[in-house]
Amino acid sequence: MLNNKFKEEEIKKVLVIRLSSIGDIVVTSPVVRWLKLQKAWEIHFLTKQAFAGITAHNIYIDKHHFLESTSLLDELKAENFDLVIDLHKSMISRKLAFLLKKPVIGFDKLNIKKWFLVNFKINLLPEIHLVDRYLASMRSLGIDDDGLGLDYFIDPSASLDDFSLPENYNVLVLGAAHATKRIPVEVAQKIILKSPYPVTLIGGKDVLSEAALLSSSGQVLNLAGKLSLAQSALVMQGGEEIYSGDTGMMHIAAALKKNIHVFWGNTTPVFGMYPYYGFKNNVVSINHEVFISCRPCSKLGHKTCPQGHFRCMMDQTIEI
């Protein structure tokens, strides 16, 4: 909602706030592009230092700011923004927007409706992607959807020269911020067996043991724990299809316009965070879901399955 009156013709400099996570920040990328290309405004982006690499090479961002800056408020006030677009909607982002004393545009995170779905399995959520909800919140600015989907700009210095990748391969994303979003080893093994091409594994150091179990096959190239985020994106860019859970890498794959098989665990595409391509791109994603009564059990994720069976992943039928 717009909290302050403003005149669009007076806007020249805008601050966009999205503090975390990888996927959430990638999903904000159309907003930055729309503002830059359709309005030619100076675009600043505020996030956490840990996520600096996600937006570092975005050609539509003029300046970056980081939450950890010891003089952040003074730094932001000195920019004298004309408008703040708060896409994070937390206590911290709201406080910052308030202290800047500038017009603010936010959006409804629909947390109450998500709570009803998680706790009572009552679905009150609109059938609309988060990107389209962002767009709806900015209609007062005269912004239109350009149909181009998400953006992810890979660090041009990133290279895969140290790795020997097959000519044709599929990519299996093992990592995720929450364990109940990760594809378990048993399911990953079935995916590898069904894949028409060799499979390259990517993920962080937290999935090294899982990757080691899967890499005994000659069908598998294990790159888990060996790549930067930019290198992982390069691997996906060169792959044929991506197999992933509900992860930040899934959204980067969508930004790279790759065909994706998404294996949903404790979360659901109903939350509005499925792969987003834009109406001008002829790319597809396929959702793989197990419809059981306890799902979704969280809008984010858990360390372990609250019910102990993890059927939402373990009962996946692998048809790829």
Q: Where are the domains of the chain?
A: 8-141, 170-314
- 8 A C-beta contact, residue 47 and residue 18: yes
Tokens in use for 225?
Answer: 């724990």
- 8 A C-beta contact, residue 125 and residue 271: yes
Phi, then psi, of 242 in degrees rounded to 5: -115, 135
Residue 81 to residues 33, 44, 73, 122, 260: CA-CA distances in angstroms? 18, 9, 12, 41, 39
Helix, strand or coil, per DSSP, at residue 18? coil
d(CA 251, CA 258): 10
Tokens in use for 316?
Answer: 């996946």
The yes-or-no answer to whether 8-141 and 170-314 have a common fold is yes
Q: Is 250 left (phi over 0), alpha (psi -120 to 50) or beta?
A: alpha
pLDDT tens readout for residues 218-263? 799 999 999 999 999 999 999 999 999 999 999 999 999 999 999 9
Write down the pLDDT at residue 23.
96
Angle at 19 between CA 13 and CA 20, to 5 degrees: 140
Write down the pLDDT at residue 291.
97
Mean pLDDT of the chain: 95
* Cα-based torsion angle of the residue sequence 201, 203, 205, 210 in order, rounded to the nearest 10 degrees: -50
Per-residue pLDDT averaged across 40-66, rounded?
97
d(CA 188, CA 130): 28
d(CA 218, CA 130): 40
d(CA 272, CA 134): 11
User: If pLDDT is split at 50, 70 and 90, which confidence band does 320 have?
Assistant: confident
Per-residue pLDDT averaged across 137-161, rounded?
96
Kindly report which listed range (17-21, 60-64, 141-145, 217-221) carries the lowest average pLDDT score: 217-221
Element spanning 220, H or E: strand 220-222
Element spanning 36, H or E: helix 29-39
pLDDT tens readout for residues 272-294? 999 999 999 999 899 999 999 99
pLDDT of 1 above 50:
no
- 8 A C-beta contact, residue 178 and residue 303: yes
Q: Please state which CATH class domain 170-314 belongs to.
A: alpha beta
Phi, then psi, of 66 in degrees rounded to 5: -130, 140
- 8 A C-beta contact, residue 102 and residue 84: yes
Write down the pLDDT at residue 269.
97
Cα within 13 Å of Cα(36), Cβ side:
18
pLDDT tens readout for residues 54-104? 999 999 999 999 999 999 999 999 999 999 999 999 999 999 999 999 999
pLDDT of 129 above 70:
yes
Write down the pLDDT at residue 3.
45
Tokens in use for 80?
Answer: 């004298």
User: If pLDDT is split at 50, 70 and 90, which confidence band does 6 have?
Assistant: low
User: If pLDDT is split at 50, 70 and 90, which confidence band does 216 have?
Assistant: confident
Q: Please state which CATH class domain 8-141 belongs to.
A: alpha beta
Residue located via tokens 């210095």: 157
pLDDT of 271 above 70:
yes
Write down the pLDDT at residue 5.
55
Looking at residue 183, what DSSP letter applies? P
- 8 A C-beta contact, residue 289 and residue 264: yes
Looking at residue 62, what DSSP letter applies? S
Write down the pLDDT at residue 319.
85
The CA-to-CA distance between both ends of the chain, in Å, stands at 42
